[in-house]
């Protein structure tokens, strides 16, 4: 790979990321049912109806998985803790769950890796889904109880704590587009979820501060909204998409307001007195996590209900997900975050990576496309730093092939291949190339 540590500022962190449900094996350790278990058990939602009950069996194999991180020369590990493992019914603490994260934390630290925790990467306990999940304001407050319980156990040992991973996916993708649990397609549910997930972030920040935590923030995902043409209609459709995807959460969290292009459709469906929550939502954070993968080409669609838009398949090279490879978008969002929202606050590329149809051939997995992808996005990050963004780290998604939500185990994002029959791990050539790039000074 065409970069080295010397290309980045002193102390810049290189890491890899994972998430609890995608790797741990949710069937172990007394974890409770989540809305992903029930979504996956419903025909047509997930490829081959796969779920996270075994996943990569990281629950039992975390020591050797952490060795892989360490041996790659990485500095930090971004992982998540599962609400439903810590509180299987959404309110009662499961000591086995806390103990697992206690052991995991010790094992991360024992290898000299910095632990970057995410509190919510989508394991909503089914008991809370029964009560309306993210449509229900109370879920944000119950989230605060979970945050207190897990923080009490491991918080003081974390290098960084993020409240929510990708609130756009938790709300819009899951309640408007119906692709993720709970699989709704309802604008009222969407508006409520989009506000309540921000409130959950705010509630978590309040609890974390009360527990004396520092280095607390949120991880947002961004997707470059490219207008299909320069027509006024297409430009307006792309601006609305940009507001819904790329502005709603960051503007709410950093400025205490929502963008007008998004409110124009959502306002009638918002919970009563939502404005009263904006101070809680916009309390100071210590860092911003930016997840970035691709761009989306947006055209006006007069036949569709608001937001009157459709996506067009673009001409660029695509990953196994069918996502266009567009590293310029990462530079755009890093510099825009610094310029318009967070100023000099530390920013981390908290996820970036690509899925590829990787195969083991003679015991090895050759993935030159992934090596190029990483190089191009590292260079975009380097350029964003040169252009003034205070980016302090980059986490590859993901350490391991894992449960890719509605795509089951079909899409492979890992630097390390997982054989889902035997659970054998095999580092891909991108793993060795990254290791070699990081060892260059
Ligand atoms: O696998 C997901 C992850 O859970 C959240 N960010 C995007 C990844 C790839 O789709």
In terms of Cα–Cα distance, which of 41, 322, 25, 81 is closest to 181?
41
10-68 tens-digit pLDDT = 999 999 999 999 999 999 999 999 999 999 999 999 999 999 999 999 999 999 999 99
% of the chain exceeding 70 in pLDDT: 100
Residues with Cβ within 8 Å of residue 109, at least 6 apart in sequence: 115, 157
Residue whose CB lies within 8 A of the most ligand 1 atoms, among 19, 411, 414, for a mutation test: 19
User: Ligand 1: which atom is nearest the Cα of residue 355?
Assistant: 9
Q: Which atom of ligand 1 is nearest to the CA of 121?
A: 4
Mutation pick for ligand 1 pocket among 405, 406, 411, 415 (CB with most ligand atoms within 8 Å): 405
Please list the active-site residues: 166, 351
Give the nearest ligand 1 atom to 221 CA: 6
Q: What is the Å distance from ligand 1's center to 268 Cα?
A: 31
What residues of the chain score a pLDDT lower than 50?
Answer: none
Helix residue ranges per DSSP H, 111-222: 126-129, 137-154, 167-168, 174-175, 187-210
What is the residue-wise DSSP string for 340-385?
IIITTS-EEEEEE--------BTTB---HHHHHHHHHHHHHHHHHH
Residue to mutate (ligand 1; options 23, 356, 398; most atoms within 8 A of CB)? 398
**Looking at the DSSP assignment, which residues form a beta bridge with residue 361?**
364
Q: Which domains does the chain have, with CATH numbers?
A: 5-439 (3.20.20.80)
The per-residue pLDDT for 38 is: 98
pLDDT digits (tens, 9 = 90+) for 160-206: 999 999 999 999 999 999 999 999 999 999 999 999 999 999 999 99
| Cα 204 to ligand 1 centroid, rounded to whole Å | 22
- Both structure tokens of 210: 């009360």
81, 103 contact by CB (below 8 A): no
How much is the pLDDT for 441?
67
Pair 337, 288: CB distance under 8 Å: yes
Output the ligand 1 site: residues, CB below 6 A.
19, 22, 166, 291, 351, 397, 404, 413
pLDDT of 291 reads 99
Q: How far is the CA of 404 from the centre of ligand 1 (A)?
A: 7
Give the distance (Å) from ligand 1 centre to CA of residue 46: 15
CA of 92 to the centre of ligand 1 (A): 28
What global pTM score does this model have? 0.98
Which atom of ligand 1 is closest in space to residue 413's alpha carbon? Answer: 9
């Amino acid at each position: 790979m065409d970069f080295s540590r010397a290309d980045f500022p002193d102390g810049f962190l290189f890491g890899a990321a994972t998430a609890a449900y995608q790797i741990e094996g949710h069937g172990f350790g007394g974890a409770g049912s989540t809305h992903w278990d029930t979504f996956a058990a419903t025909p047509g939602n997930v490829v081959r109806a796969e779920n996270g009950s075994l996943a990569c069996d990281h629950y039992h194999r975390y020591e050797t998985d952490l060795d892989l991180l360490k041996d790659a020369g990485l500095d930090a590990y971004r992982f998540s803790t599962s609400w439903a493992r810590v509180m299987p019914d959404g309110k009662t603490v499961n000591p086995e769950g806390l103990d697992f994260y206690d052991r995991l934390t010790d094992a991360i630290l024992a290898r000299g890796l910095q632990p970057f925790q995410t509190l919510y990467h989508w394991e909503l306990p089914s008991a809370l889904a029964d009560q309306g999940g993210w449509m229900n304001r109370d879920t944000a407050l119950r989230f605060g109880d979970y945050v207190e319980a897990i923080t009490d156990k491991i918080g003081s040992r974390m290098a960084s704590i993020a409240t929510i991973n990708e609130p756009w996916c938790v709300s819009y993708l899951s309640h408007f587009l119906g692709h993720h649990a709970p699989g709704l397609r309802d604008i009222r549910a969407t508006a409520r979820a989009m506000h309540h997930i921000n409130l959950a972030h705010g509630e978590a920040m309040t609890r974390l501060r009360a527990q004396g935590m520092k280095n607390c923030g949120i991880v947002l995902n961004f997707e470059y909204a490219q207008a299909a043409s320069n027509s006024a209609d297409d430009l307006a459709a792309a601006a609305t998409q940009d507001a819904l995807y790329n502005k709603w959460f960051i503007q709410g969290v950093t400025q205490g307001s929502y963008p007008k292009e998004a409110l124009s459709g959502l306002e009638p469906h918002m919970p009563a007195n939502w404005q009263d929550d904006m101070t809680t939502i916009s309390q100071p954070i210590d860092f911003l996590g930016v997840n970035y993968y691709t761009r989306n080409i947006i055209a006006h669609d007069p036949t569709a209900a608001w937001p009157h838009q459709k996506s067009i398949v673009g001409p660029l090279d695509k990953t196994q997900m069918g996502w266009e490879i567009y590293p310029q978008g990462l530079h755009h969002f890093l510099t825009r975050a610094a310029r318009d929202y967070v100023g000099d606050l530390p920013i981390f590329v908290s996820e970036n990576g690509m899925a590829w149809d990787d195969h083991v051939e003679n015991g090895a997995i050759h993935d030159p496309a992934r090596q190029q992808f990483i190089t191009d996005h590292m260079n975009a990050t380097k350029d964003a730093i040169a252009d003034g963004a205070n980016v302090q780290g980059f986490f590859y998604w993901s350490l391991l092939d894992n449960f890719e939500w509605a795509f089951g185990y079909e899409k492979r994002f890992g630097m390390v291949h997982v054989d889902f029959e035997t659970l054998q791990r095999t580092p891909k050539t991108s793993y060795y190339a990254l290791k070699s790039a990081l060892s260059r000074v």
